[in-house]
Amino acid sequence: MVVVSIAVSSLWVIVTPARETGPALLVVAISVIIGLLMVLVFRYTSDQNAIRRTKDQLKAHLLAVRLFQDQLQVVLRAYARILGGTGRYLRLAFTPLLIVILPLTFLIVELDRYLGWQPLQPAQAFLVEVRVDTPQALNQVALQLPPELAISARPVHIEKDKEVVWRVVANREGRYNLSIVGAGQPASKQVTVSEGLARVSPIRLRDSFWERILSS
């Protein structure tokens, strides 16, 4: 995931001119770059000779269907071979897919951090929600903020959902770490305040590895 994050950061530098014009052009620029990279990956990880032979065989069988339309047995045999050739072509194309599917999935998840969420704006109030294991731990949880952030209302305890909610306001742009202490389980969460595009993660989890990678 670190490698993918570095790759996305490098890609972000490449498409910096598009960032200034808005998300739509940025998505187009990233799509073109990733599309070109996928073409190169397919070119050098697939068996091009086998794919070329399979394509030629498919063309020959399609031509047989057109030339022998009045011979049902020949047409049916050609259709059967077309189905078999299509299966071979998909099998040959599946190898590059296996190579790119995992990094491409992580890449999409990482791009969602930039394009799927809008950063907080300066002077904008937002809620910090903390979920604990038991209702008894609600009164033991405390929120520690850097000087640039301030609590604007008293915390709300929701015993049914085992949550504590604070309303916080950011004074200026930047990246800040919130610290949650109490109940013997300290945790932290980064908050991004920016008027432009920035990497945003809306939740911090402590569950399974894959859930944390894909969601937090």
**134-176: per-residue pLDDT in tens?**
888 888 888 888 888 888 888 888 888 888 899 999 888 888 8
160: CATH: 2.60.40
User: How high is the pLDDT of residue 48?
Assistant: 86
User: How high is the pLDDT of residue 98?
Assistant: 83
Q: Do 74 and 150 have their domain in common?
A: no
- Mean pLDDT rounded to a whole number for the chain: 79
Q: Does residue 187 sit in helix, strand or coil?
A: strand
Is 133 within a domain? yes
Q: Do 29 and 103 have their domain in common?
A: yes
Q: For 47-74, what is each residue's pLDDT tens digit?
A: 889 989 999 999 999 998 888 888 888 8
Residue with the larger pLDDT of the pair 44 and 8: 44
Q: Domain limits at 156?
A: 125-215
Q: Average pLDDT for residues 99-119, to the nearest whole number?
A: 80
Q: Average pLDDT for residues 76-98, to the nearest whole number?
A: 89
User: How high is the pLDDT of residue 2?
Assistant: 45
Is 14 within a domain? yes
Q: Do 101 and 136 have their domain in common?
A: no
Q: Residue 144 and residue 146: Cα distance in Å, rounded?
A: 7
Domain count, the chain: 2
Name the pLDDT band for 80 (thresholds 50, 70, 90): very high
Q: Do 70 and 136 have their domain in common?
A: no
Q: Do 41 and 92 have their domain in common?
A: yes
Would you say residue 1 has pLDDT above 70?
no
Is 75 within a domain? yes
Residue with the larger pLDDT of the pair 45 and 23: 45
Exposure on the CB side of residue 208, measured as CA atoms within 13 A: 3
Is 120 within a domain? no
Q: Do 93 and 132 have their domain in common?
A: no
Q: Do 58 and 160 have their domain in common?
A: no
Q: Do 26 and 93 have their domain in common?
A: yes
User: How high is the pLDDT of residue 184?
Assistant: 62
Q: 61, 84, 115 — which closes off a domain?
A: 115
Q: Which of 175, 174, 214, 194 is nearest to 19 (CA)?
A: 194
- Give the phi and the psi of residue 25 in degrees, each rounded to 5: -65, -35
This prediction has a pTM of 0.57
Which segments of the chain are extended strands (E)? 125-131, 142-144, 149-151, 156-158, 163-170, 174-181, 187-193
Q: Which of 162, 122, 105 is nearest to 139 (CA)?
A: 162
